[in-house]
Amino acid sequence: MGLHEDVGEILFTADQIDEIVKRIGDQVSRDYADKDLVMISVLKGSLIFMADLMRAITVPCSIDFLSVSSYGAGTTTTGEVRILKDLDTTLEGKDVLVVEDILDSGMTLSFLLNNLQARHPRSIRLCTLLDKPERRRVDIKADYVGVQVPDKFIVGYGLDYAEKYRNLPYIGVLKPEIYAE
């Protein structure tokens, strides 16, 4: 079976994603006018969203990347967060926008935001393309949300299962038999 056949339902087409990204980009551009914006992508899932979002933002910005691990090859978070690749940029006095593909349990992002706050940025906000509030295990809310999604296993547009499906141009629900243990 191919990548597309493994998807049981398409939640958002490429055109719908483009509209969502443009809306967020417009909002970020308004909010960060005359600020020292540093966008931080949480690798690997948010890479595609970050690339499209930064092109939709009309104010100057710089970018950096973090890589963290809390899932391994499974479908649920382990609860243990490790930084695999840290930032190259210092954040002191800067306006930080953490860009994530999906806000799920919130455990990884809660850890990450606390870690970044300790680096003394002027401000720190969270932007997520997808919000899955039903799975939240900690009290965290994004400042910018693309759309809320149901509690299903979602892939495409950067989101993966075992490092596959990131290259799908849409966001869809993976068929349960694909990830059944």
Count of structural domains within the chain: 1
Print the domain residue range for 128.
Answer: 15-151
pLDDT tens-digit series, residues 70-82: 755 555 555 678 8
pLDDT tens-digit series, residues 2-28: 889 999 999 999 999 999 999 999 999
175 within a domain of the structure (yes/no): no
Query: Consecutive sets of 10 residues in the chain, 181 residues long: mean pLDDT of each?
Result: 88 98 98 96 94 98 90 56 91 97 91 95 98 91 96 95 95 92 56
Q: Which residues are annotated as catalytic?
A: 104
- Is residue 61 within 8 Å of residue 29, measured between CB atoms? no
The amino acid at 98? V
Kindly report the CATH number assigned to the domain that includes residue 85. Answer: 3.40.50.2020
178 within a domain of the structure (yes/no): no
137 within a domain of the structure (yes/no): yes
169 within a domain of the structure (yes/no): no
pLDDT at 72: 52
- Please tell me the distance from the alpha carbon of residue 14 to that of residue 177, in angstroms, as a whole number: 25
133 within a domain of the structure (yes/no): yes
Identify the bridge partners of residue 68 per DSSP, sorted by sequence position: 83
3 within a domain of the structure (yes/no): no
Give the list of residues 6+ apart from residue 164 with CB closer than 8 angstroms, or none.
3, 155
- Is residue 145 within 8 Å of residue 128, measured between CB atoms? yes
160 within a domain of the structure (yes/no): no
